[in-house]
Amino acid sequence: MELTNETFAPLRVLIDEFARAGIEHAVVAPGSRNAPIAYALGDQEGIKCWSVLDERSAGFFALGVAKSTRKPVILTCTSGSAAANFHPAIVEASHAGIPMIVLTADRPPELRDVGAGQAIDQIDLYGGAARWFVEAGNHEFSEQTLRHFRALGSRAVDEALGDDPGPVHINLPLREPLRPVAEELDPGVCGSEAAQGRADGAVWTRSDTATPLAPDLYSALADAKHPLIVVGEQHQPDLALTIAHLATATGAPVFADSLSQLRRSELAEHTPLVSSYDLILRSKLVSEKLSPDLIVRIGETPTSKPLRNWLADLTCRQIVIDPRSRWAEPSRNASEIWHCDPLATLTAAAGRVEGPTASPSWTSAWDVIETAAQSAIDHALAAEPFPFEPAVYRHALSSLQAGATIFVSSSMPIRDVEAFGPVSRDDVRYLSNRGTNGIDGVISTALGVRAPYNCDRVIVFTGDLALLYDSGALATAKRHEIPITIVCVDNDGGGIFSFLPVAEHEDHFEELIATPSGVDIEALVKAYGMPYTAPHDANALDTAVEQPGFVHLKTDRAANKAGHDRVAAHVADSVAAALAETGAFH
């Protein structure tokens, strides 16, 4: 390995250690102080560098790559406010459990707090959002220094991939030279193991973590006659299959969030899946009469407010399976939190099932009302004029001609997809930024998901405000020629606010809360050279979604709110009638 000079040598060793640990992607925001980091990344075999101009967008782009690959991604920038602009993406990664390694270049100590340019306090800049922070330090060139940076690399990857994965922050104060000019270095140090790395490409230090033992989930299910499994966001295909197998064997209905990866036709054929729970639980009869005696919660808590309220009011045993050793329990009503491997736990339980354990009438009641709800949704949506927002998402997802990764923006899109999203193709994956539930970085993250080319296509569902908040990401799409489909439901403002109590107070609502932008989105998109379509019917929408480009659907906020109310009332009446006809639980 060519170490170049005293500034570059530790960085080249650090980056080499990251490559040995399996890191394949780095996102670089341009700058002078981080130029040695950028050059070291650019020269490193096995690491693909993505250059993104804006640091906030770069942070979310890196987040998307990490979501897509499930491996840590390196993210680097120059000193000063550039590093501060990474913060929103780092907070999202922290809450969502996404591994990232953030390398911030910094001024050396003698240039801090003396009025030097681009010098802010970067020590522990991201606070509790970082799983681990270290100031790498300024050290004379030596074998001990290179060993220090090798060890930093090993530990950083281990910390990012720990029991609670997330971002790691290494602050790198760099002195001149900041360019790759060759200097004469001690040949003994350059030839050392610290400089060249362990033999056969091994990492400097290997860390092994034992899988937590799985508690006895089978006994809990076997003792319950009215069990429910609630599955929120999770991204393990094997876990989705195991949940489906366990539910099928026991007869326990599964409330499957769109981000659970369970809304798949091959699973729905045999598994008691309930995907319309958000609308079902708006029926007072259902929420009162169908009382479970056990809730098993897996993955993140779904977004649905009716579900969250219902979980908070139940008096039955509730088990939360949380592999990240957090206290992820917003209902404050769970009786137990199990910090264990969910796949191991459910696999062990499924292996012991000899036959159904749930009451047949319990399983069949949920099947009846789910069927009634799905039929009522289709009937009610068909009565609404195009483009009605929930119908856009349901129709687009039902009509996919090929598999895709669906990236859903926070705010109204994720709620509509959760409530109205169908059971669809088996080769569809759902992603979203639900760590902090923000609308920032939606397009950048989706581009990062597509960038590694480990998925054939990405379709983004977003609103107009989320698009405008991150419109600079369209420059990244153009620069790197990343094909993506963006479906933008444009109601000229924050449509979600019309559903909240604040909408009842009209003074200042439109200007300060709903925030219509008045931006010509068509002109904006075309300025970035992105193909643009504005479908006028469902068939045109089908065609548009199958191609990379921008799909623009203008809607009206007031009409959208009224339509939601009509559909929700129709579904609630339908499921109540279906439950009454079963004669069960009266």
- Over the stretch 28-81, which tens digit does the pLDDT of each residue have? 999 999 999 999 999 999 999 999 999 999 999 999 999 999 999 999 999 999
Domain-embedded: residue 75: yes
Across residues 354-376, what is the average pLDDT?
96
Domain-embedded: residue 382: no
Q: What value, to the nearest 5°, has the Cα angle with vertex 433 and ends 492 and 323?
A: 155
Note the pLDDT of residue 379.
98
Q: Are residues 71 and 40 in the same domain?
A: yes
In terms of residues, how long is the chain?
586
pLDDT tier at 503, thresholds 50, 70, 90: confident
Q: Are residues 439 and 549 in the same domain?
A: yes
Instruction: List pLDDT tens digits, range 544-585.
Output: 999 999 999 999 999 999 999 999 999 999 999 999 988 765
Select from 70, 86, 57, 88 the least CA-distant residue to 25: 70
Select from 466, 467, 493 the least CA-distant residue to 557: 493
pLDDT tier at 400, thresholds 50, 70, 90: very high
CB atoms inside a 10 Å sphere around CB 408: 27
The domain in which residue 404 lies consists of: 389-554
CB atoms inside a 10 Å sphere around CB 431: 22
Domain-embedded: residue 103: yes
Note the pLDDT of residue 414.
98
CB atoms inside a 10 Å sphere around CB 189: 17
Which residue, 360, 379, 406, sits at the end of a domain? 360
Residue 180: is the preceding peptide bond cis (ω within 30°)? no
CB atoms inside a 10 Å sphere around CB 546: 17
- What does the alpha-carbon distance between residue 364 and residue 359 come to, in Å, rounded to a whole number? 9
- Residue 326, SS3 per DSSP: coil
Q: Are residues 401 and 303 in the same domain?
A: no
- What does the alpha-carbon distance between residue 438 and residue 416 come to, in Å, rounded to a whole number? 16
**CATH classification at residue 270:** 3.40.50.1220
Sequence-separated (6 or more) residues with CB below 8 Å from residue 421: 258, 263, 275, 393, 394, 397
- In this structure, the dihedral spanned by the alpha carbons of residues 193, 131, 408 and 57, taken in order and rounded to 10 degrees, is -70
- Residue 230, SS3 per DSSP: strand
Note the pLDDT of residue 584.
64
Instruction: List pLDDT tens digits, range 274-301.
Output: 999 999 999 999 999 999 999 999 999 9
Note the pLDDT of residue 586.
45
pTM score of the predicted model: 0.95
If you search the block for the tokens 């050396």, which residue do you land on? 108
The tokens describing 458, both together, are 């990405």
Domain-embedded: residue 381: no
pLDDT tier at 119, thresholds 50, 70, 90: confident
Domain-embedded: residue 25: yes
- Quote the number of domains for the chain: 3
